[in-house]
Every structure is written in C-alpha cells, then in structure tokens.
Amino acid sequence: MNISDVRAQFPILKQKVHGQPLVYLDSAASAQKPVQVIEALKHYYENDNANVHRGVHTLGARATDAYEGARVKAARFIHAKSEREIVFTRGTTSAINLVAYSYTRAVCQEGDEIVISAMEHHSNLLPWQQAAKAVGAQLKYIPLQPDGTFTLEDAERTITSRTKIVATSHISNVLGVANPVKQLAAIAHKHGAAILIDGAQSAPHIKVDVQELDCDFYTFSGHKMCAPTGIGVLYGKKALLDRMEPAEFGGEMIDHVDLHHSSWKEAPWKFEGGTPIIAGAIGLGAAIDFLEEIGMDNIAEHDRKLTAYAVERLNRVDGLTIYGPEDRRMGLVTFNLNDVHPHDVATVLDNYGVAVRAGHHCCQPLMRHFQAAATARASFYLYNTEEDIDRLMFALHKTIQYFDDQE
C-alpha cells in the first residue's frame, strides 16, 4: 500500500482550507471519493443512463448489467452466499429501518424483547424504539461498563428466551472499538433470536465475512467507504428476507397487480420499489473494486497503525480526555479538551486546515453515560498519514494556546 499513490487518487485532498493544506479527519462521517468512483459515475451518466430491468433497449440493458453487477460485487465484498441476499438501500439508516419495520412485525408479539446497547448510533436505536412501540415489545439494553463498552457476560444476562432480535454496532462510531459480534451472534442464536450488525464503521476498514460471523442481517453505507452518498446495503439471510414483507410499495417491486390484490417479486427486488439507486450502486461497485485492489487487510493494518499513533500523541496533551478503551480501537479517536467546548476546538482546528467532527455524534445516550454533552472526533482512513496526525497535534496546541490567552 503506497500511501502517496493512494492519496493521488483523491482530488479533493489537493486543496487548501484557510490557506493551509487540507487535513481531512472526518471519514467516520463520510469518506472522500477517488477518481475511479467519480469516473464511474461520469461514465454512467454520459453513456448508459437509463432505467433498469424493464427496458429492452441497449442503454437499459447496459444500466441493468452495471446495477446488478454491483450487487454481485457487494455480495463478494462481505462474503454473502448469494447476491440474492443483497438489498440496495439509501444507506445504513434505511437498511436498519427496513429490518426494524418488516422483520419485527413478522416475528415479534406483545411481551417479546428487542435487545440493543446504549452505545448505538441513533440510527440503530430509534428504529427499534419505534418497532417496540408498534408491536408491544420490550426494548432492553445491554448495560455499559465505565469505558462505554459491554461484556458478553452482561449480554448473556440481558438476552432471554423472549428475545427476538439483537442489534449492535460492529465498530462504535464514538469509541472506535470492535464489539464481539460473532460471540454475540452465538448467544442470540442460542435463545432463538436473530442478530443485526450495524457495519457502517466496519465495512470501510476491515474484511467482513457475514458467513463467518453468522449474522442474520448486516448493514453498511457506501459513502463511508469511498462510494457516493445515498447508497447502502442490507445483507439478510435469504430465508429471513423471504419471510419479510416490503416496506415500500410501487413500481419495480411487483409481480402481479389487480384492483384489490397484488403480489411481489422475490427478494431482494421486492424491497427496491420505484426507480432504484442506479448511479449510486454503480459507484458503490467502483468503490469496492478500488478498496479490493488496495486490499482490505492492508487498509485495516494502515488504519490501526494510524489510530495507535494518534492515541499515543494525544495522550501526551495535558487536560485532554480520550473516551473509550485505548486498545481494540480502529479508525477514530474521540476526545475533549478540559474547559473548551468541542465545537470551539473544531472551529480553531479548521482555521489550520484540519477537519474533525464535533458534537454528540448521534449517540446522546452514550454521551450521557460519559457525562459529556459533546466531544471532538478525529477519524482516519486509507488516505491519511502520520503527517496528518502531526498537523492535528500542531493545531491542537495552537488551540490550547489560543484559549489560554483568552483567560
């Protein structure tokens, strides 16, 4: 993995912000796009733009081949058994909502349980709140340790024979810590429950094998892994997708329609009503090609080293608090400077060309667990370097100096 060659593929990184070279440390929110992905979108719109599946003309056939080819690539990327287990969605949020709406209604009755953790992104919390209310189920939380993680022992005590669904993040978007999802899947299955894994922060960084994890559902977003915005994937075991009813109804997803009754196509197409996200799927396919050419193992090793380097540097700063355990961390560091609001930290850093995220990161329950209203977060990806971390540290020291001078 030649980092200079990788960086050269991202045109946006060549710009300056406030007269400083851009240091983009916000990939956990959305990753930048390489030339290959941008060119794939351009090629589709300039050469193959047409609707898919229904047309018999040449452009329609080309668009369909590219769209369904992206489904094959997505299945290969996460080692699904078949492309029939891949549903294209708008992203992780819509994928989780689909499962929470449809699968919950298929399996849950009043008094059943849905189990999640309080570390979850709101996208993996709010849909389950609403699903539990809709079917009369109880929403239960695996308790958190002081560092924000949970133990398998606590999961064992929380999941019962009444549990129908367990949902958790693969890697936390605040802690950067990988959860023991394979072991959690085994616990869920022992009690007859299905498990959904939110892979928004894991699919861009590590090799994912849904068969090895034995998860029932796995979700991820294209825009966090160099693909366009507005495209994501729901993986579901075929037997479970077949059991679920669609959540959206309209053209494309039907088999037969009459005035008072209709029937649906098979999965995955029954979940893709209307004109699908054609260009987004093609862009996702190009992003998968790009990441696989570099190698997911290479990306994972690069991101681990960068994260460890950042933690080591940040730990030297007096008055800086890092949230979560320092080991098992991948791709991001969340922190606060004493007595300085994280929004102020991010604003000063931006003046030095350093882009970080500040806020509650769509994890308000986890923020309350840490008794913090908000935090700053620096996140890293395959195009970042140790020099980027050094620039972050320089800008942080300038931030500290600025606020010390205000006192």
Q: Are residues 340 and 217 in the same domain?
A: no
Instruction: Give just the sign of the alpha carbon dihedral 270, 104, 362, 77.
Output: negative
Q: Is 155 part of any domain?
A: yes
Q: Which of 269, 293, 317 is the last residue of a domain?
A: 293
Pairing mode, strands 232-236 and 217-221: antiparallel
For residue 407, the model assigns a pLDDT of: 65
CATH number at residue 115: 3.40.640.10
Domain-embedded: residue 32: no
353 sits in the region (left: phi over 0; alpha: psi -120 to 50; else beta) called left
User: Do residue 12 and residue 159 come from a single domain?
Assistant: no
Question: Does residue 302 sit in the same domain as residue 368?
Answer: yes
Same domain, 270 and 327: no
Residue 326: per-residue pLDDT: 77
Domain final residue pick, 244, 264, 293: 293
Angstrom CA distances, 356 to 55, 64, 115, stand at: 45, 38, 32
Which of 275, 293, 311 finishes a domain? 293
Asked if 328 and 203 sit in the same domain, the reply is: no
Q: Are residue 251 and residue 319 in the same domain, yes or no?
A: no
Q: Is residue 31 part of a domain?
A: no
**Residue 61 shares a structural domain with residue 15:** no
Q: 235 and 139 in one domain?
A: yes
221: in domain: yes
Gap between the Cα atoms of 74 and 56, Å rounded: 25
CA distances from 382 to 172, 323, 342, 362, 370 (A): 18, 23, 25, 24, 30
Question: In the chain, what is the greatest distance between 2 CA atoms, to the nearest angstrom?
Answer: 74
**How far apart are alpha carbons 219 and 214 in whole angstroms?**
14
> Pick from 30, 5, 62: which is nearest to 228 by CA?
30
Evaluate whether residue 264 is within a structural domain.
yes
Residue 30 lies in a domain: no
Range of the domain at 165: 37-293
Does any domain span residue 133?
A: yes
Q: Specify the long-range contacts of residues 150-155, CB closer than 8 Å, at least 24 apart.
A: 150/117, 150/119, 150/179, 152/180, 152/183, 152/184, 152/187, 155/115, 155/184, 155/187
Q: Distance between CA atoms of 119 and 168, rounded to whole angstroms?
A: 8
The answer to whether residues 289 and 307 belong to one domain is no
* List 108, 215, 226, 362, catalytic entry: 362
Between CA 368 and CA 31, with CA 323 as vertex, the angle to 5 degrees is 100
Proportion of the chain in helix, strand, coil states, percent, rounded to 5? 45, 20, 35
Q: Catalytic: 362?
A: yes
CB 391 within 8 A of CB 353: yes
**Which CATH number does the domain housing residue 8 bear?**
3.90.1150.10
Whether 198 contacts 168, CB under 8 Å: yes
- Whether residue 280 is found in the same domain as residue 308: no
**What does pTM read for this prediction?**
0.96
Same domain, 123 and 237: yes
- Which single residue is written with the structure tokens 């009813």? 245
pLDDT of the chain, 407 residues: tens digit per residue: 799 999 999 999 999 999 999 999 999 999 999 999 999 999 999 999 999 997 789 999 999 999 999 999 999 999 999 999 999 999 999 999 999 999 999 999 999 999 999 999 999 999 999 999 999 999 999 999 999 999 999 999 999 999 999 999 999 999 999 999 999 999 999 999 999 999 999 999 999 999 999 999 999 999 999 999 999 999 999 999 999 999 999 988 888 999 999 999 999 999 999 999 999 999 999 999 999 999 999 999 999 999 999 999 999 999 999 999 977 789 999 999 988 999 999 999 999 999 999 999 999 999 999 999 999 999 999 999 999 999 999 999 999 998 887 76
Asked, for residue 20, whether it belongs to a domain, the answer is yes
Report yes or no: 375 and 367 within 8 Å, Cβ to Cβ.
yes
82/157 same-domain check: yes
Instruction: Give the total number of structural domains in the chain.
Output: 2
> CA dihedral defined by 114, 120, 124, 126, rounded to 10 degrees?
80
> What three-state secondary structure class fits 298?
helix
Helix (H) or strand (E) holding 3: helix 3-8
Give which of 337, 338, 339 is closest to 395, Cα–Cα: 337
Taking the C-alpha atoms of residue 204 and residue 331, their distance in angstroms, rounded to an integer, is: 10
